[in-house]
């Protein structure tokens, strides 16, 4: 077999690559993407004739996903369902949703010697994945996320596994923050009183969406639950959001959270870990572009209560994500990948700055929804 090029510090890769049934000769693999959770690699292959082809190889995070085989069952169910809808709609199922390449023994995923689960997917070419966007691109991503939710409105939700229990249970996130604070394993709490106060002062907010759900105001739907801009592939020719990726948390949830998580990540002009908070500002014009796109994509399927709570979705997903980053910081950074010490604290701080901005512009945010509802 010819020598393939793989990073020296990824010893398990050759075992994993060997397990999959590549339709062409393997040339090499490199780490890829900006996700915080999975181990993602781009794999290059040379077919007998024609240009090289790429694949995405992903090892699922055991810290995030305790039952990866259930996650893969969800993945297969959702992508098969979407493939049929996309085909019926005259679309291209190979570009508009993810698919899997099987292992040599005909399985949908490979479990390595340490028990980590890996999947292989064709790379969806002629697309871009952005970390920040112009209003036009952001609106296009919004249409795609709205459409994603619309397409799954008749998916049999009871068949989905809850891949991360209490994923967007903001009350539970608050409680876990308090537990991490009390444990204060690394003695970090003493240096961050303002951030801790920020969270403790917002305990009541953490119940707003859950209370509306308990009161029967907000319906449970099949939602993506991780709708950051870099979880969508944008077609290079049409600039349309063509494929929603990172389906690992697609499960029953609230539509306002899908709306909200996109706003959290995309309705500003700074990095998620920007240290200079003067650069971190909620941009209501990006919020407006997203609102317009999301409501168009959802094709009138949101109820009046969901529309009313959309601004809360933005505020709560941002608060919750900040709480999660801060919890992981207190806990020793075991959940989110970090590139430097203190990155989770930097991330928490940007989220809290954005929450503050949204609190100040909350009425204007509601007015924007009313304009497009």
133 near ligand ADP, rule: CB under 6 A: no
Q: Name the binder of 348 from Mg ion, ligand GN1, ligand ADP, none, CB < 5-8 A by kind.
A: none
Considering only 51-59, 150-158, 226-234, 356-364, which stretch makes contact with ligand GN1 by CB under 6 A?
A: 226-234
| Residue recorded with tokens 């959309």 | 310
Please tell me the distance from the alpha carbon of residue 248 to that of residue 21, in angstroms, as a whole number.
Answer: 23
Q: Which two tokens stand for residue 19?
A: 């397990």
Per-residue string for binding with Mg ion, 144-173, x by CB under 5 A?
------------------------------
Q: Which two tokens stand for residue 291?
A: 């609102």
Considering only 160-168, 241-249, 327-335, 350-358, which stretch makes contact with Mg ion by CB under 5 A?
A: 241-249
Interface residue with ligand GN1, options 37, 233, 319, 330 (CB under 6 A): 37
Exposed e or buried b per residue across 57-94, where buried means at least 16 C-beta atoms within 10 angstroms of its C-beta:
bbbbbeebbeebeebbbbbebbbebbbebbeeeeeebe
Site for ligand GN1 in 227-286 (CB under 6 A): 228, 231, 246, 248-249, 261, 272
The least distance separating ligand ADP from the CB of residue 231, rounded to whole angstroms, comes to 5
Interface residue with Mg ion, options 246, 283, 288, 357 (CB under 5 A): 246
Looking at the DSSP assignment, which residues form a beta bridge with residue 28? 5, 44
DSSP code of residue 103: B
Q: Which two tokens stand for residue 63?
A: 């810290």
Helix, strand, or coil here: 6? coil
Q: Name the binder of 22 from ligand ADP, Mg ion, ligand GN1, none, CB < 5-8 A by kind.
A: none
266 near Mg ion, rule: CB under 5 A: no
45 near ligand ADP, rule: CB under 6 A: no
Residues contacting 104, CB < 8 A, separation 6+: 19, 20, 21
Q: Which two tokens stand for residue 70?
A: 């259930």
Residue numbers of the site for ligand ADP (CB under 6 A)?
32-35, 37-38, 40, 56, 98, 121, 123-124, 129, 230-231, 233, 245-246
Residue numbers of the site for Mg ion (CB under 5 A)?
35, 231, 246
């Amino acid at each position: 077999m010819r020598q393939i090029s793989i990073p020296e510090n990824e010893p398990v890769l050759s075992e994993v690559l060997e397990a999959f049934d590549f339709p062409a000769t393997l040339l090499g693999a490199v780490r890829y993407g900006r996700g915080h959770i999975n181990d993602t690699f781009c794999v290059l292959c040379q077919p007998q004739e024609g240009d090289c082809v790429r694949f995405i190889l992903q090892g699922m995070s055991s810290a995030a996903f305790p039952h990866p085989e259930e996650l893969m069952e969800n993945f297969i169910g959702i992508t098969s369902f979407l493939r049929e809808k996309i085909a019926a709609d005259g679309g291209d199922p190979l570009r508009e949703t993810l698919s899997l390449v099987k292992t040599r023994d005909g399985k949908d995923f490979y479990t390595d010697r340490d028990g980590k689960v890996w999947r292989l997917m064709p790379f969806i070419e002629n697309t871009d994945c952005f970390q920040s966007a112009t209003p036009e691109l952001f609106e296009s991503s919004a249409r795609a996320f709205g459409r994603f939710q619309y397409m799954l409105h008749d998916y049999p939700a009871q068949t989905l596994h809850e891949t991360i229990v209490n994923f967007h249970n903001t009350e539970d996130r608050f409680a876990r923050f308090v537990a991490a604070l009390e444990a204060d394993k690394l003695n970090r709490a003493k240096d961050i009183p303002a951030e801790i106060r920020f969270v403790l002062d917002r305990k009541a907010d953490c119940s707003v969406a859950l209370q509306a759900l308990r009161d029967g105001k907000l319906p449970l739907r099949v939602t993506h639950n991780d709708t950051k801009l870099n979880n969508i592939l944008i077609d290079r020719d049409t600039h349309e959001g063509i494929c929603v990726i990172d389906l690992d948390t697609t499960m029953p949830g609230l539509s306002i959270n899908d709306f909200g998580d996109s706003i959290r990540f995309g309705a500003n002009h700074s990095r998620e870990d920007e240290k200079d908070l003067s650069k971190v500002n909620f941009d209501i014009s990006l919020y407006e572009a997203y609102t317009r796109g999301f409501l168009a994509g959802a094709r009138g399927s949101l109820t009046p209560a969901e529309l009313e709570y959309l601004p809360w979705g933005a505020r709560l997903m941002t608060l919750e994500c900040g709480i999660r980053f801060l919890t992981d910081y207190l806990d020793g950074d075991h959940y989110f990948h970090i590139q430097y010490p203190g990155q989770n604290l930097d991330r928490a701080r940007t989220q809290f700055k954005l929450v503050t901005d949204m609190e100040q512009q909350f009425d204007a945010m509601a007015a924007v929804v009313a304009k497009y509802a």
